[in-house]
Amino acid sequence: MKVLGIMGSPRLGGNSDILLDQALAGARDAGADVEKIVLYQRQISGCLNCESCNDTGTCAIQDDMAEIQQKILEADAIIHSGPLYYWAMTSQMKAYLERWCVFCDAEWKVHKTYANRIGGKRIGLIAVCGDLNVSAAEPIVRSFKNTCLDMGLTWLGAVQVSAAAKGEVAQNKAAIKEAYQLGKTSAARN
């Protein structure tokens, strides 16, 4: 079992990072091999809508996303974590998620190249927002949930937390526990 953690915040040691580490600890404790990727440390361009991947299953953009796409294919589960910035996901996370189109054909169905490697993957999300009403992060949740539904992936759910100051979430025992449990669930064998 392999669980991949994708950190979409540009702030190391921040709330999204702390919760992702907790989720990966839960997966590790459940027996999974874990790996964490920090998107802002990578070179990832947004989709150009050139449509070259529709036929080939390969993106025309030469950047770090090709390596990340391979890690996605090798993982059994992917846990994403990121903050709400201006009512949406960070630019790093948006560019990353746009590039998932490589896994789809021109009709937005899973590309034949990946049909037996992407199906059944488990996807979880940690969404952190400074707003006291955690539903402010619903646009992020909807983006990931719809990606799962469209591609036939297993949606594990979202941990939605309110935290603003860097590291403040470390004092939120309920949020720490919920993130840890998401990680354990992601690594559970069916």
Residues 64-94 have pLDDT tens digits of 999 999 999 999 999 999 999 989 999 999 9
Tens digits of residue pLDDT in 103-152: 998 888 899 989 889 988 999 999 999 999 999 999 999 999 999 999 99
Q: Pseudo-torsion of CA 63, 77, 108, 152, nearest 10°?
A: 180
- Encoding tokens for residue 54? 């529709």
Q: What is the DSSP string of 100-139?
A: GGGGB-TTSSB-TTTHHHHTT-EEEEEEEESSSSGGGGHH
What would the two tokens of residue 68 be?
């990340």
Q: Sketch out the chain's domains with CATH numbers.
A: 2-187 (3.40.50.360)
Partners of 124 in the beta sheet?
79, 157
Residue 143 CB-density burial (10 A; 0-12 exposed, 13-18 middle, 19+ buried): middle
pTM of the complete model: 0.96
